[in-house]
Amino acid sequence: MVENNICPIGNTLDVFNRKWIFCIMSNIYNGKTHFNEFKQMNPTISNHVLAQTLKYMEEQDMVVKTVIDEVHNKTEYSLTEKGLKTNKILYEITSYFFNELDDTRSENEKENLLAEYREVYGIR
């Protein structure tokens, strides 16, 4: 039994304390890089919360924001090296969903989707 006052799980979850962080990271892994794309993929998030979450993710060095066109206010987000290291976490959360929470799909559908996510997240 580990006996210290530091809980690595709790401390890590403190960094990922916003509901939409993992969804946005997953969106980036799936090729979505713009604010409007994140909004389209997550329609229940408000513009304000999305903007705050992206700013927080920048501050935590999980994503980097690149201005593509200042005149038209076009920006692009990409995962930093730190952000890219979440691939296994994202896959395990996805796997848990399909294996334990999703009762709408057949086992074959779940396996096919998980294979796609392994590819997206670069899991070998």
Over the stretch 88-100, which tens digit does the pLDDT of each residue have? 999 999 999 999 9
Query: Is there a single domain that holds both residue 76 and residue 94?
Result: no
Give the model's pLDDT for residue 90: 96
* 5 compared with 73, residue with greater pLDDT: 73
Query: Is there a single domain that holds both residue 101 and residue 73?
Result: no
Query: Is there a single domain that holds both residue 70 and residue 94?
Result: no
Number of domains in the chain: 2
User: What average pLDDT score do residues 65-77 get?
Assistant: 92
Query: Is there a single domain that holds both residue 14 and residue 63?
Result: yes
Distance, in Å, from the CA atom of 2 to the CA atom of 51, rounded to the nearest integer, reads: 39
Give the model's pLDDT for residue 42: 95
User: What average pLDDT score do residues 105-124 get?
Assistant: 96
Query: Is there a single domain that holds both residue 103 and residue 59?
Result: no
**Which residue segment(s) compose the domain that 94 sits in?**
86-124
**Nearest Cα residue to 83 out of 10, 22, 11:** 22
